[in-house]
Amino acid sequence: MKSIVYIIGMIVILAIINWHRYEAEDFNYQGIEEIKIGVIETTANEHKSCIHWYDENLNKISEQKLQYAMLGSPFHNPVYYNNEIYLIPQGLGNRKDSKKVISLNREDFNITEYPFNNIALNDIAVSEDYIYTINTLNGNTHISKLSRRDSRLEEVVIEDEYISGIVAIKGKLYAFSSNMQTSSPKFYIYIYNEELDLLDIRDITKYGTGQYKFSNDENYLYANVMVTKDEKPGTMILKISIETNEIEAIDINEEFPNDILQYKDKIIITNHDLIMYEGNKITILDKNTQETETIELDRKTEFAGIIGNLLIIGNQENIGLYSIENRFELVKEIFIDKSNESYISNIIVLN
């Protein structure tokens, strides 16, 4: 079992972290109530990003220019909590030293910044009382917790392991870990309470690793498996009981499960290799019978979301809307006009 080290007994960073809130600048508020979809354009070379805002029919409403580099990530979806959308602006690509999380208010589109102490932040989880981040330095992963009440910052370190993703649900924080320094790879889920006291550890080595994207319903957390312990493409998603932490693996029989979306009694899973930028399929999983159906679409399924009965699929070139109830018939598409040095990091969906 790998040791979990609490830095000086879970050190409290005594410097009070000041939050900063900024009003949306150069933002056209006309038609703001119609905004439903955001496309995040960013770059690693400049502190310059832009969120292109559309209505539910992909008609352009406005755009919001932000002074951040590497805002958002294809590997980690924005986190939605109450009225805020949380993102990481990592900073310039050769430094990744912004050391902050931002939230975007979905009503007035103002930005709040939450400073952290570590560089190269990777993922976010949010609860009523805390904002959590992860980063890996010198082979050790730091899980940081920022209190909303008193702005105190605390940290836990997991030695010699890489945490791919975290998610907070119903008073628990789930951290998905891989250890490649043992004689054979070992993969775990560390389960904490909100105070970062360790509650449970689950060995998921037999299933695989690369858990970056998550979804949940009332009873279960779902996580993707991108790679097996034999370094082959994953075809499973993990179904984890929120009450008992018991794990069931569901084989969807299609490689590279990516986004996991809830829709009625179904789960819609995109199949896309984020590293190779390949894959244009989706898999429909019936939650009751666990039967699956795979459908090939006409574009790469890098990003996804659901608004009403429409499936949103996006990538570096275009965004498409598909009717879920009409066998995923293409309803509308738009092509993305971005600068040569920028890329699309993710999409935002305002339901």
Beta carbons of 188 and 142 less than 8 angstroms apart? no
CB 251 within 8 A of CB 265: no
pLDDT at residue number 181: 79
The pLDDT of residue 152 is: 93
Provide the CB-side half-sphere exposure for 151 (13 A, CA): 10
The CATH class given to the 4-349 domain equals mainly beta
pLDDT mean across residues, the chain: 93
CA distance 190 to 282: 29
pLDDT tens per residue across span 127-154? 999 999 999 999 999 999 999 888 899 9
Q: Give the pLDDT confidence of 177-219 residue by residue, as tens digits.
A: 999 777 789 999 999 999 999 999 999 999 999 999 999 999 9
Ranking 174-183, 228-237, 257-266, 325-334 by mean pLDDT, the lowest is: 174-183
Q: 270: part of which helix (H) or strand (E)? A: strand 266-273
pLDDT of 17 above 70 = no
pLDDT tens column, 148-165:
888 899 999 999 999 999
In sequence order, what DSSP letters do the residues of 207-252 get, joined into one string?
T-B----EEE-SSEEEEE--B-TTS-B--EEEEEETTT--EEEEE-
Q: What is the pLDDT of residues 288-324, one digit of tens each?
A: 999 999 999 999 999 999 999 999 999 999 999 999 9
Count of alpha carbons within 13 angstroms of residue 143, beta-carbon side: 34
Q: What is the pTM of this model?
A: 0.93
Q: Tell me 34's DSSP state.
A: G
DSSP 8-state secondary structure symbol assigned to residue 2: -
pLDDT at 11 over 70: no
pLDDT per position as a tens digit, 27-46: 776 788 999 999 999 999 99
For the chain, give every domain's residue range.
Answer: 4-349
Write out pLDDT tens, residues 54-102: 999 999 999 999 999 999 999 999 999 999 999 999 999 999 999 999 9
